[in-house]
Structure 1
Amino acid sequence: MRNSTRAIAGLLMAGAMLGGPALAAEHEVRMLDRGEAGMMVFEPSLLRIAPGDSLRFRASNPGHNAESIPAMAPEGAPLFKGRMNEEITVTFDRPGIYGIQCKPHYGMGMVGLVVVGEGEAARANLEQARAASHPTRARERFQRMFQGLGD
């Protein structure tokens, strides 16, 4: 009995070291007409996740989508684009900073920021993401999110 417990513990430890999919988490982001931060928001709008984690974007109110902002994605990261009113799940495997937008409400500031990983790897494209051009309300919301990073 004792040997089998050790064997199971060893397998779990090996899986943790390899970062297998069993350890990945799924987080939910709601697309809302009105949330705690105001009108037309992703909630939460700023997330820190581990590589391999997934985000499920749920259209809590109709008329929204979730898609990447190409100028705010790490080099070589796959981009995504959900259809209107579509609930999509996106897995983030590459460390870095990702900008997210609701295309029809981008000009109203419906944006989000996802930080994947920790340390230097997570900040590899920080300056590129900060330098991206946005409509006024989106730019203001991103500025607050970048301040929330504490970098």
Structure 2
Amino acid sequence: MEKAMTPSRALLAAALIAATCASTQAAEVTIKMLNNGPAGMMVFEPPFVKIAPGDSVKFVATDKGHNVETIKNMAPEGVAPVKGALGKDETITFDKEGVYGFKCSPHYIMGMVALVAVGANLDNLEKAKGLDQNKMAKQRFEPLWAKAEGK
């Protein structure tokens, strides 16, 4: 003979299921592409985010002159490059762990870069750090590398 579930047990089971579902939902983080921000002119804000695999980042073009584009060789192996259109928002879902470097193509020379760290396995970090960058991009990446390393 089966025992009926008491109302308090049913409520507890429903709460556990809801908590499990809520904790597994993917998050979306927003990064704005700005003409002026806390770090100066032509910046991504924030310039660094740490997310979990399956999460998304929405790059918001606050001006028609900005775009988001993957920096060549600054993404995990096998990940397709991104090249957003000028003045358009771009939402990217990150399924593979690692670091991803982004630039605004027209303003890269001014150091307009961002770094997204996905998960705990950042195997491509040293390779990304070793890539040749222009002077402004290199300066702006320095504190971002430290954040990716947890410093």
Query: Under a length normalisation based on structure 2, what TM-score does the superposition of the two structures give?
Result: 0.86
2:14 is matched with which residue? 8
In 2: Cα distance, 1:147 partner to 1:101 partner: 18
**Shift, 1:132, TM fit:** 1.2
Runs of 5+ consecutive residues of structure 2 not aligned to the other structure: 1-6
Match of 2:52 among 39, 50, 53: 50
In 1: Cα distance, 2:81 partner to 2:10 partner: 44
Cα contact 2:64–2:88 (8 A) shared by 1: no
**Shift, 1:79, TM fit:** 2.1
In 2: Cα distance, 1:12 partner to 1:77 partner: 33
1:61 is matched with which residue? 63
Aligned residues: 144
In 2: Cα distance, 1:5 partner to 1:96 partner: 40
Cα deviation digits, residues 22-75 of structure 1 (max 9, x gap): x11111110011100001000000111111111111111220001111311011
Runs of 5+ consecutive residues of structure 1 not aligned to the other structure: none
Identity of aligned residues (%): 44
Report 1:29-108 matches (<5 A): 29-108=31-110
**Shift, 1:80, TM fit:** 1.4
Match of 1:112 among 92, 105, 114: 114
2:129 is matched with which residue? 130
Greater share of helix residues, 1 or 2? 1
* CA RMSD in angstroms, aligned pairs only: 1.8
In 1: Cα distance, 2:62 partner to 2:142 partner: 25
1:145 is matched with which residue? 144
**Shift, 1:135, TM fit:** 1.1
